[in-house]
């Protein structure tokens, strides 16, 4: 079955082709078979009328922590009454996640995946990091793997209450890694004051790489530190957060291959200053946007919300923000088959009930998704 999508208000390709008008796409076997002028489109078995709406690549949410139990609404409320965010609440979620059954964890992840799909997300990366024991990290990764191939071992998310950091890193890079590596594509570490320092982070990442995992780093979220430069040095796919950057950090990102993944939901939910996307873009750094969906620092599943924040408060244009949420996310996952509308790519689309991608930021908090297509299948309509 082939599917023609036409009557498109604007086709946001996220490729060098830019934005096309009077364009149509044809999908065959889950991939784009034609992208170009409506007049030249081949015949198809079925037709989807976009009714003048903008058509974008499905969003690539390259950073989430959605296998967990219990929310932390009270912690959020306390923050909004003046408490700071320190990352200390991670241990609260570790305790509840360890106690939860597989079925409970699966149900929460399933619910959030549904929220994401309804908001245009067609690829999601999912991290462990609320287990912090061999058994519980593997359990989280197994459940994450039911929802995505983009699974990340984040055993070094924080130091568990009953251990010291060096002893815990030893466990992470030996027994825990040995059990987790077959279940994960990526290795990640929270490099931050109060979590893991530069040397500990380096030990975790290099051990993960030796075990065949690919590196990515939680870097420079709460303070300046060594995370970003370590990520660039190890050629990590992405340095995530990048909220507190020195000029040397920006230079390193500009010269390296590491994507700066910005997570404005975290600054929103912790009432912190947003990362300066403009500074990064002006320096020539590749930027991605993701939700960081987790019960502590950023309990949003909405890429449109993150796009709106990035435009309003981080100096991005609407076009830059949508590129960061699509092609940027794909780059942050080292994927060439998603995040853009080009022949041969996986047919993932967000079809808006609005004439232009600008409306995602211009009409914040408004549901503009007319339909979402993942690998050629209608996920939501």
Residues in contact with ligand NIG by CB under 6 A are: 65, 87, 89-90, 93, 190, 218, 221, 266, 292, 294, 296-298
- Between 70 and 317, CB nearer to ligand NIG: 70
- Between 294 and 302, CB nearer to ligand NIG: 294
Residue 89 near which of Fe ion, ligand NIG, none (CB within 5-8 Å, type-dependent): ligand NIG
Return the residue nearest Fe ion (CB atom).
Answer: 292
Size of the site for Fe ion (CB under 5 A): 1
Considering only residues 289 through 308, tell me which ones interact with Fe ion, judged by CB under 5 A. Answer: 292
**Which residue bears the tokens 């931050």?**
192
- Between 256 and 296, CB nearer to ligand NIG: 296
- Between 292 and 320, CB nearer to Fe ion: 292
Residue 267 engages Fe ion in binding (rule: CB under 5 A)? no
Q: H or E segment at 310?
A: helix 303-313
Least distance to ligand NIG from the beta carbon of 192, Å?
Answer: 7
Least distance to ligand NIG from the beta carbon of 98, Å?
Answer: 14
Residue 61 engages Fe ion in binding (rule: CB under 5 A)? no
Gap between the Cα atoms of 380 and 162, Å rounded: 45
- Between 318 and 329, CB nearer to ligand NIG: 329
Q: Under a CB-based contact definition with an 8 Å cutoff, are residues 221 and 266 in contact?
A: yes
Least distance to ligand NIG from the beta carbon of 285, Å?
Answer: 19
The response to whether 72 counts as a known ligand-binding position is: yes
Q: H or E segment at 269?
A: helix 264-270
Return the residue nearest ligand NIG (CB atom).
Answer: 296
Q: Under a CB-based contact definition with an 8 Å cutoff, are residues 197 and 127 in contact?
A: no
The response to whether 359 counts as a known ligand-binding position is: no
Gap between the Cα atoms of 379 and 221, Å rounded: 34
Q: Under a CB-based contact definition with an 8 Å cutoff, are residues 296 and 93 in contact?
A: yes
Gap between the Cα atoms of 66 and 176, Å rounded: 20
247-268 per-residue burial string, b: 16 or more CB within 10 A, e: under 16: eebbebbeebebbbbbbbbbbb
Nearest to 221 by CA among 169, 266, 271: 266
Q: What are phi and psi of 35, to 5 degrees?
A: -140, 115
The response to whether 6 counts as a known ligand-binding position is: no
* Selected range binding Fe ion among 98-106, 139-147, 225-233, 288-296, rule: CB under 5 A: 288-296
The response to whether 142 counts as a known ligand-binding position is: no
Least distance to Fe ion from the beta carbon of 25, Å?
Answer: 33
The response to whether 357 counts as a known ligand-binding position is: no
**Which residue bears the tokens 């870097």?**
219
Least distance to ligand NIG from the beta carbon of 112, Å?
Answer: 14
Least distance to ligand NIG from the beta carbon of 332, Å?
Answer: 14
Helix (H, G, I), strand (E, B) or coil at 151: strand
The response to whether 218 counts as a known ligand-binding position is: yes
Token code pair at residue 250: 């920006």
Nearest to 146 by CA among 82, 178, 103: 103
- Between 62 and 294, CB nearer to ligand NIG: 294
Residue 221 near which of ligand NIG, Fe ion, none (CB within 5-8 Å, type-dependent): ligand NIG
Q: Are strands 19-20 and 59-61 parallel, antiparallel or unpaired?
A: unpaired
Q: How far is CA 372 from CA 30, 50, 197, in A?
A: 13, 11, 41
Token code pair at residue 335: 């994927």
The response to whether 130 counts as a known ligand-binding position is: yes
Least distance to Fe ion from the beta carbon of 343, Å?
Answer: 34
Q: Which residues are annotated as a binding site for N-formimidoyl-L-glutamate?
A: 130, 294, 296
Site residues (vs Fe ion, CB under 5 A)? 292
Q: Which residues are annotated as a binding site for Zn(2+)?
A: 63, 65, 218, 292
């Amino acid at each position: 079955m082939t599917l023609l999508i036409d009557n498109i208000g604007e086709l946001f390709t996220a490729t060098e082709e830019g934005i096309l008008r009077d364009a149509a796409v044809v999908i065959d076997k889950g991939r784009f078979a034609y992208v170009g002028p409506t007049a030249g489109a081949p015949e198809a078995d079925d037709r989807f009328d976009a009714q003048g709406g903008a058509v974008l690549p499905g969003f690539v949410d390259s950073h989430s922590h959605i296998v967990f139990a219990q929310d932390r609404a009270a912690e959020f409320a306390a923050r909004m009454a003046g408490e700071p965010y320190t990352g200390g609440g991670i241990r609260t979620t570790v305790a509840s996640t360890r106690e939860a059954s597989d079925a409970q964890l699966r149900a929460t992840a399933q619910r959030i995946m549904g929220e994401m799909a309804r908001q245009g997300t067609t690829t999601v990366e999912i991290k462990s990091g609320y287990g912090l024991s061999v058994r519980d990290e593997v359990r989280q990764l197994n459940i994450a793997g039911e929802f995505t191939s983009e699974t990340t071992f984040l055993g070094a998310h924080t130091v568990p209450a009953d251990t010291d950091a060096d002893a815990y890193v030893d466990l992470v890079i030996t027994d825990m890694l040995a059990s987790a590596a077959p279940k994960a594509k990526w290795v990640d570490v929270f490099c931050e004051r109060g979590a893991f320092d530069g040397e500990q982070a380096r030990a975790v990442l290099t051990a993960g790489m030796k075990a065949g995992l690919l590196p990515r780093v939680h870097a420079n979220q709460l303070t300046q530190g060594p995370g970003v430069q370590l990520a660039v040095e190890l050629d990590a796919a992405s340095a995530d957060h990048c909220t507190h950057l020195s000029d040397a950090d920006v230079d390193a990102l500009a010269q390296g291959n590491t994507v700066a993944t910005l997570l404005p939901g975290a600054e929103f939910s912790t009432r912190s200053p947003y990362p300066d996307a403009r500074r990064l873009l002006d320096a020539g750094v590749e930027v991605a946007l993701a939700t960081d969906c987790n019960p502590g620092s950023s309990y949003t599943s909405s890429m449109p919300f993150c796009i709106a924040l990035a435009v309003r408060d981080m100096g991005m244009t609407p076009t830059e923000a949508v590129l960061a949420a699509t092609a940027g996310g794909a780059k942050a996952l080292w994927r060439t088959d998603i995040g853009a509308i080009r022949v041969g790519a996986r047919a993932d689309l967000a079809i808006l009930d609005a004439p232009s991608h600008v409306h995602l930021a211009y009409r914040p908090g408004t549901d503009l998704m007319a339909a979402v297509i993942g690998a050629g299948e209608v996920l939501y309509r």
